[in-house]
Amino acid sequence: MTQKKSNASSEELHEGDLYRQVESFFLKNRNMIVGVFAVLVIGIGGYFGYKKLIQEPKELDARNKIDTVQEFFAMDSLDLALNGDGINPGALSIISSYKNTATGNLAHYYAGAIYLKKKEFDNAIMYLEKYKPGTDEIAGVTFRMLGDAYSEKNEMDKAIDYYVKAGDKANSKFFSPAYYKMAGELMLVQEKYSDALAIFQKIKDEYPLSEEGQNIQKEIAFAQTKLGK
């Protein structure tokens, strides 16, 4: 019993010492601790204030303005969609004025797509590579367009890489086999028959009900012939 009391007293003394050490540390460093806490509070409050009072209204304003870009793009009025009509801003202006917004990001897609249609492939690549797609399907479309741009520049390795990425990312029974076939056809042009055969076989095995899957046998046979199979 005496031993238990002794142990309990020892623990109480230890807890008391620990409490005094914490108290002493706080008293010595009170100004620093309060300052750090204040910075955290101000920082958190500032973040939510910025988001509510600045970022959200800016995003809403940007959304309203990109509607005109989309309308001009749909009408194939490419210069107006890109540069605006003097009243409404174009995609380039939205990119510049609404950085770090979802709509500013979307404007990169339209700028890239417009430059691709205008056959200004370096500009198309620059804007499409900066665009961050919101869905896998849109990512597939974006990578396919990048493949088109690099193909037009005769940079076939990069084109193939993007077509394969488009097929992988889209993960679509409709779109993926089409993107893979684009990659395979360029592989044939480059005489990469083994790679082409592998991608054509992938289409046949994984997408047998797609249009490409039902008609890919002739490409498989051609690649096999080139490989002496």
Determine whether 2 is exposed, middle or buried from the number of CB atoms within 10 Å of its CB (0-12, 13-18, 19+): exposed
Q: Average pLDDT, stretch 91-108?
A: 89
DSSP 8-class letter at 131:
-
Torsion sign (Cα): 50, 53, 56, 61 = negative
Taking only the tens place, the pLDDT of each residue in 129-167 is 999 998 999 999 999 999 999 999 999 999 999 999 999
pLDDT in tens, 169-225: 998 999 999 999 999 999 999 999 999 999 999 999 999 999 999 999 999 999 999
In the chain, the domains with their CATH numbers are 135-229 (1.25.40.10)
pLDDT tens-digit map of 44-91: 444 344 344 344 555 666 577 788 999 999 999 999 999 999 999 999
The owner of tokens 């989309």 is 70
Residue 3 scores a pLDDT above 60: no
Sign of CA dihedral 193, 195, 200, 205: positive
Give the whole-angstrom CA distance, residue 134 versus residue 48. Answer: 24
